[in-house]
Structure 1
């Protein structure tokens, strides 16, 4: 591949700001890469939408990024990955397309000693059984129970990430879920939505010290790097890469809320509002 193409940005999209947790891991692993992130903040959350709507939204986001010249597309949304990954990969081939579910499932299997794995995600991701099926393929003896936690997305988008209220909601979700495993509870909890990592401390406080919490951000970043390397598409320009942002609603709100997900302040002037 040409040096010119290797300098193109990695395109990343999510239903809102949750995918910035994946972008954060990408930037930490590959600081020399350029990134173009799109948050469909006008239509968040995807998790309560129909499969047809999610596929349509995913293609609109993907088309917006592909039209701006990217070298890879990362679906930083578990719901969109579950419903649209294969369709987007086929449509955009030979452009490499990576989702977050397979890396997250692999990390859960590696982390679990007992094979008892709990998954929390959006309603669409749980109902689509994407994590359940992928974990079973990797670990046929695993016992997987998945439950939707829809309120977590709203809490994350509002920036309510800790405190008694968040832990009380987490307890209402997690305690019945863990009880379904019986006396041998889960040893691994998969955060099957990219919004959930910002609630990690509250979730961990409720889950307890015996539970390994897995999110797909770091393993997805590693898969992205390995894929780019295999295609000779890693940026060789040197220096620190550039990150630009697109949102489908208020740039100011995206910047204000997104900073906690990305781990750094976001300048609203670096956020362009687009209509999909």
Structure 2
């Protein structure tokens, strides 16, 4: 039996689009719904209670759209909310949740100097979940954390390679390089949009680790395990929702996704 219900993906803004795009590449026949909670962006500047309440509200909206799985395509929301989402919705509604966390494990394997740099929001870096993750999988590697508050707003404004973007990236990356980091983790999904600039600033000897492909592969794995994959032969649809400026959101989608989609309000 085929399951053509959509996969829900949400973030505080457009940070989750690279994850949604990878899901689309790996699962071209699946229907997707992407929700940008833009009115409350960025999550990294909000209290944990606010982040949790917004995660619950977006989950309720996605449930109203009859999704078969939800991807929390935001590091901060994953760290703060996913345990509660799974406890309150997962078992009760048989609804799988797939989160995203900083790529500490691959970074720990990859590093030669033993120093890993982490670019993320303050909320992610100070969360108990991130601390537990680092202790669990970092091994002997030393973590140098770098809160990067300017980067999310640059991405939301589509300032992905201008002088302001380069200057902000230099401000956050150079201290990590000076501390001998040879591997830098993009610990916020928004930062994938800035990866080319981050890689250029960091230099050839530094590896930049992003997790959107790993998350997309986990979505495929979970849907297979839960027997939720569609068998429909047609190319899947993609719907975009936001509670922010819809004209700007459509511009962001067109620029970053490459399609002229009709954004909807939620």
**Residues 1:189 and 1:29: Cα distance change in structure 2 (over 3 Å):** same
**Residues 1:59 and 1:112: Cα distance change in structure 2 (over 3 Å):** same
Structure 2 CA distance, aligned partners of 1:132 and 1:260?
35
Q: 2:123 — aligned with what?
A: 124
Q: 2:20 — aligned with what?
A: 23
Instruction: Check the 8 A contact 1:36/1:243 in 2, yes or no.
Output: yes
The worse-fitting range, judged by mean Cα deviation, of 13-22 and 133-142 is 133-142
The worse-fitting range, judged by mean Cα deviation, of 11-20 and 104-113 is 104-113
In structure 1, list runs of 5 or more residues that go unmatched: none
Q: 2:163 — aligned with what?
A: 164
TM superposition score normalised by structure 1: 0.90
Q: 1:255 — aligned with what?
A: 250
Note the alpha carbon deviations across 1:49-71, whole angstroms, 9 max, x for none.
00001000110011100121111
Displaced runs of 4 or more, over 6 A: none
Instruction: Check the 8 A contact 2:108/2:139 in 1, yes or no.
Output: no
Instruction: Check the 8 A contact 1:46/1:54 in 2, yes or no.
Output: yes
State yes or no: 1:237 paired with 2:232.
yes
Q: Choose from 254, 261, 266 the match for 2:260.
A: 266
In structure 2, list runs of 5 or more residues that go unmatched: none
**Residues 1:113 and 1:177: Cα distance change in structure 2 (over 3 Å):** closer
Instruction: Check the 8 A contact 1:255/1:265 in 2, yes or no.
Output: no
SS at match of 1:246: strand
Structure 1 CA distance, aligned partners of 2:235 and 2:201?
38
Structure 2 CA distance, aligned partners of 1:266 and 1:111?
39
Q: Kindly report the root-mean-square deviation, in angstroms, between the aligned alpha carbons of the 2 structures.
A: 1.6
Instruction: Check the 8 A contact 1:75/1:81 in 2, yes or no.
Output: yes
TM superposition score normalised by structure 2: 0.93
Q: 2:67 — aligned with what?
A: 70
Aligned residues: 263
Q: 1:193 — aligned with what?
A: 188
Structure 2 CA distance, aligned partners of 1:171 and 1:265?
31
SS at match of 2:189: coil
